[in-house]
Amino acid sequence: MEKTMIAARLHALHQPMSLDRIPVPKPRATDVLVEVRACGIVPNMANVINNWPTWFPHQPIPKFPAIFGLDPAGVVAEVGEAVINVKPGDRVYVSPLRSCGSCKACRSGNRSQCRYYTLNGYFSTSPDGQRIFYLYPYGGFSQYMTAPEYALVSLPNNLSFLQAGRFGYLGTSYGALKNAKAGPGQVALIDGITGTLGVAATVLGLAMGLSRILGTGRNDELLQRVKALAPDRIEIMSLADRSSGEWARSLTGGESVDFVISALGAKAPAATMVDSMRRAAGGGAASSMWAVSPKTCRSMSSG
Ligand SMILES: [Zn+2]
């Protein structure tokens, strides 16, 4: 086992990360040490990190020098003595979701309500998240990282580490579909269908049996490529042409869609979301709206 490793560390805001040689950490009893083979990169990460302390002064990023890196995948190198279901050599994705695990919110399955809820290797949405960064200071931009056993997702051999580095985005869209109880026979409206989250929701929604997917976007060429995934089940519309809510209603005989997934980019006007919520999702008692875009990274129901 090597004693030192290379990690990309950020020493100050608005500076490039530097490659530093630091000690390889020892996993605590309930943790594992993962040798990172791939890590997803959030395209907007530098912008988010540099502005986070201004945007959300009460929500911490890790103390400097900090190791970021949100969606790592790799091989388990070592396990703590209390780790039961994971062994060295296992191929894993490391989920960035961290919480205390023992409070009322965690025990009832609402981990995002935990006062320590944190995205390891990125930022925390909780004032007390620095406690988690203290326990888990290693993000994916590091040769080795420690992680709690509960954060590991076992990878089958036919899934590459590079593919697993996209699990964060895929999982976000999958979570929205699960929350919406997506299933056979349903019609969904996906606003922002051409982005990473929108395409993920489309592919997963097709696999989950959605009968029809109505998708909106701004780029006609990308819209055509999404439609080509399943031309008989996907309808597309450019947001430049028409209101998304009105269009969706015209395709469903005036009825509401079963649910809306909003995967619009951070700079998209809020009017599209409001329109879809009111006119496409608003009609039926069972219809709901799930936002997965970075700006509105939370779920909500149109009621
Ligand atoms: Zn908790």
| Domain residue ranges in the chain | 4-165, 170-300
Q: What is the mean pLDDT of residues 259-263?
A: 89
Cα 83 to middle of ligand 1, angstroms:
20
Q: How far is CA 161 from CA 20, 72, 273, in A?
A: 24, 8, 34
Q: 138-148, pLDDT tens digit by residue?
A: 999 999 999 99
Distance 68 CA to ligand 1 centre (A): 22
- HSE toward the beta carbon, residue 241, CA cutoff 13 A: 11
Give distance in angstroms: CA of 104 to centre of ligand 1: 7
Four-way CATH pick for 4-165: 3.40.640.10, 3.90.180.10, 3.40.50.720, 1.10.1200.10: 3.90.180.10
Q: How far is CA 137 from CA 33, 132, 134, in A?
A: 13, 8, 6
For 7, 38, 97, 104, the CA distances from 88, given in Å and listed in that order, are 21, 17, 22, 33
The answer to whether the beta carbons of residues 192 and 268 sit under 8 Å apart is: yes
Cα 28 to averaged position of ligand 1 atoms, centre (Å)? 19
Given this model, what pLDDT does residue 160 score?
Answer: 97
* Average confidence score pLDDT of the chain: 89
Distance 298 CA to ligand 1 centre (A): 18
Which is more confidently placed, 61 or 299? 61
Pick the range with the lowest mean pLDDT from 73-77, 87-91, 105-109, 290-294.
Answer: 290-294
CA of 124 to the centre of ligand 1 (A): 13
Distance between CA atoms of 274 and 264, rounded to whole angstroms?
A: 12
pLDDT in tens, 215-245: 999 999 999 999 999 999 999 999 877 888 8
| pLDDT tens readout for residues 166-192 | 999 899 899 899 988 999 999 999 999
Give residue 107 CA to ligand 1 midpoint distance, Å.
7
Residue 283 burial by Cβ neighbours in a 10 Å radius (0-12, 13-18, 19+): middle
pLDDT value for 265? 76
| Identity of the amino acid at 92 | V
How high is the pLDDT of residue 281?
Answer: 67
C-alpha 234 – ligand 1 centre gap (Å): 40
Question: What architecture does CATH give domain 170-300?
Answer: 3-Layer(aba) Sandwich (3.40)
Cα of 103 to ligand 1 centre, how many Å?
A: 4
What's the whole-model pTM score? 0.82
**Distance from Cα 300 to the centre of ligand 1, integer Å:** 21
Q: 120 CA distance to ligand 1 centroid (A)?
A: 15
Interval between CA 99 and ligand 1 midpoint (Å)? 5
How far is residue 135's CA from residue 187's CA, in Å, rounded to a whole number? 44
Q: Residues 66-80: what's their mean pLDDT? A: 97
